[in-house]
Amino acid sequence: MFDQPSRAGTSKVVTSAKPMTPLGLEITARLKEMFHGFSNRMERNQQATLGPSEIGTPCDRRIAMSLMRLPPVNPGGDNWASFVGTMGHEGMSQMLEWADAGSGRYASELRMTSPSKRVPHGTTDLIDRVLLYVGDFKFMGQWSLDKLKTEGPSPTYRVQAHTYAFMASLRGETVKHVAILGMPRDKPNLDDMYVWTEPYNPQIARDALARVDRIGESVDAHLATLYGKAETNESESKVMTAAQFPIDAADCRFCPFHKPNSSNLEWGCNGRN
């Protein structure tokens, strides 16, 4: 049983799918295997430093674990949704380049830097130099899009948008607003597109970067007390350090370190203290 979008964009439950032929099953298996290999090597999955998309999480422990580069244990399904998002970003970038046509109005996929050594880079999706906003595309399923419409963006998205705007303004761009560009991933048209905006506030970015620095300094101090002790190796020291940080479980299901029911932080965080 699976959901199939109807022409109107609503989901219709299909109860009598015909089984795939042996060839269909073989093609499915090979393409899935190819997809896993390809998506695992994509740059967006291989960031070596903390990025603006990670720093707005309400969970201090998640930031500490990211800073220590602990290995992710929650790959987020098979990466299909993020792959569709990444390809959507590439398509939108091509569209913006076409729309810009050398005028300089639009900048897309602009690599930027920040003064923070722990969050040194960011790549913004869109700068519009006429409407003076920095925009971030989100390719959203219905649940997330409805949440954006009714409650506004999560702290993670909001901080991300302001941090991109902060980095853009540091490189001389005039930025008055930030925008989350909610694109309906599951719909056959853009009728349901929803754009959330608010005035740019650099203090949101400064506070977020300062928080990462505070957590980073605390991580370094914890590790310094543990390294060199004969009874703890590097991995154990990092896990013991991570355990020192308070948690906020609001976004655990999107956390790379989330392992429900884990009884040992070394295997993953169960989202409880």
Q: Which parts of this chain interact with ligand SF4 (CB under 6 A)?
A: 59, 61-62, 65, 247, 249, 251-252, 255, 257-258, 269, 271
Instruction: Select 61 or 118, whichever has its Cβ closest to ligand SF4.
Output: 61
Nearer CB in complex with ligand SF4: 149/253 = 253
Give the residue with the Cβ less far from ligand SF4, 55 or 179: 55
Work out how close the CB of 60 gets to ligand SF4 at its nearest, in angstroms, rounded to a whole number. Answer: 8
Least gap, CB of 218 to ligand SF4 (angstroms): 15
- Closer by beta carbon to ligand SF4, 59 or else 92: 59
Nearer to ligand SF4, 74 or 201 (CB): 74
For the chain, the three-class secondary structure string (H helix, E strand, C coil) is CEEEECCCCCEEEECCCCCCCHHHHHHHHHHHHHHHHHHHCCHHHCCCCCCCCCCCCCCHHHHHHHHCCCCCCCCCCCCHHHHHHHHHHHHHHHHHHHHHCCCCCEEEEEEEECCCCCCCEEEEEEEECCCCEEEEEEEECHHHHHHHHHHCCCHHHHHHHHHHHHHHHHCCCCCCEEEEEEEECCCCCCCCCEEEEEECCHHHHHHHHHHHHHHHHHHHHHHHHHCCCCCCCHHHHHHHHHCCCCCCHHHHHHCCCECCCCCCCCCCECCCC
**CB of residue 236 vs ligand SF4: minimum separation in angstroms?**
17
Instruction: For the CB of residue 54, give the shortest distance to ligand SF4 in the complex, in Å.
Output: 11
**How far is residue 215 from each of residues 64, 77, 210, 238, 242, measured CA to CA in Å?**
6, 29, 9, 13, 10
Residue number, 165 or 252, with CB nearest to ligand SF4: 252
CB of 87 to ligand SF4, least distance (A): 27
- In whole angstroms, how close is the CB of 250 to ligand SF4 at the nearest point? 8
Nearest to 247 by CA among 55, 59, 98, 7: 59
As measured in angstroms, the least distance from the Cβ of 258 to ligand SF4 is 4
Helix 202-226 to helix 234-242 angle (10° resolution) is 130
- Which residue, 68 or 92, is less far from ligand SF4 as judged by CB? 68
